[in-house]
């Protein structure tokens, strides 16, 4: 499907409606696709010529999408794609990773080139709820943020070559860090799954081999 005029930077499936797919690109467009209609977009979001790096459907609401532009997050209602419903001035550096915490939470987590990780409440987006700088590698950017949708455990990838993955678990009032996981490869992406209270991290290296933490 011809989707964008420049490289696609992110794709995300709707958590509530599996027929919906969101794509974003350096061409400044965010597009919503209905997979039942293979060659037509459902909606195009107006980003005012800003490149978009990340797009994530909310897990708690079928109509909310978060997108990352530089250090800013924009919240959208897909029923009205003409303009964002809200803005979050999240970081002073580019956001490289972003995800919703869990299927029952309105919290969003962002990570940026400056190595910082911040938790946000979509209902009160003006002030971050928590900020963390888990930085075993000096000046390592947060290249990826991903959460387990059921347990709310967040994996933050620090750096790409010899990457370190930090696991974060949020209680009622604070965020705690679990032991960090080090990979000797160049890591392109990570996934975290929590089963029976134990978190397991899967990483994809630049040779498209899946690495599993031991």
Place of tokens 């002030």: 127
Dist. CA 185–CA 205, nearest whole Å: 6
Q: What is the pTM of this model?
A: 0.87
pLDDT at 55: 95
pLDDT at 206: 81
* Contacts for 124 with CB less than 8 Å, ≥ 6 apart: none
The three-state DSSP-derived secondary structure of the chain is: CCCCCCCEEEEEECCCCCCEEEEEECCCEEEEEECCCCCCEEEEEECCCCCCCEEEECCCCCCEEEEEECCEEEEEECCCCCCCCEEEECCCCCEEEEEECCCCCCEEEEEECCCCEEEEECCECCCCCEEECCCCCCCCCEEEEEECCCCCCEEEEECCECCEEEEEEECCCCEEECCCEECCCEEEEEEEEEECCEEEEEEEECCCCEEECC
What is the block-wise mean pLDDT of the chain (214 residues), using blocks of 10 residues? 84 92 89 83 80 92 94 93 92 94 88 91 83 65 90 87 85 68 85 83 83 72
pLDDT at 172: 56
């Amino acid at each position: 499907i011809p989707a964008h005029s420049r490289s696609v930077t992110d794709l995300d499936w709707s958590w509530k409606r599996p027929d919906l797919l969101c794509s974003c690109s350096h061409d400044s467009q965010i597009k919503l696709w209905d997979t039942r209609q293979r060659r037509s977009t459902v909606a195009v979001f107006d980003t005012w010529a800003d490149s978009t790096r990340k797009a994530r459907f909310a897990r708690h609401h079928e109509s909310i999408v978060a997108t990352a532009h530089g250090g800013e997050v924009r919240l959208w209602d897909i029923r009205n794609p003409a303009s964002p419903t809200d803005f979050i001035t999240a970081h002073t550096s580019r956001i490289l990773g972003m995800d919703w915490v869990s299927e029952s939470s309105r919290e969003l987590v962002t990570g940026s080139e400056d190595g910082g990780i911040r938790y946000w409440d979509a209902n009160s987006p003006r002030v971050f709820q928590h900020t963390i700088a888990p930085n075993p590698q000096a000046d390592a950017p947060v290249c990826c943020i991903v959460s387990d949708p059921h347990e709310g455990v967040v994996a933050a990838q620090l750096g790409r070559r010899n990457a370190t993955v930090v696991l974060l678990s949020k209680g009622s009032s604070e965020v705690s860090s679990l032991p960090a996981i080090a990979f000797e490869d160049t890591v392109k992406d990570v996934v975290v799954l929590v089963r029976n209270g134990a978190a397991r991290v899967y990483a994809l290296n630049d040779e498209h081999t899946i690495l599993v933490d031991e």
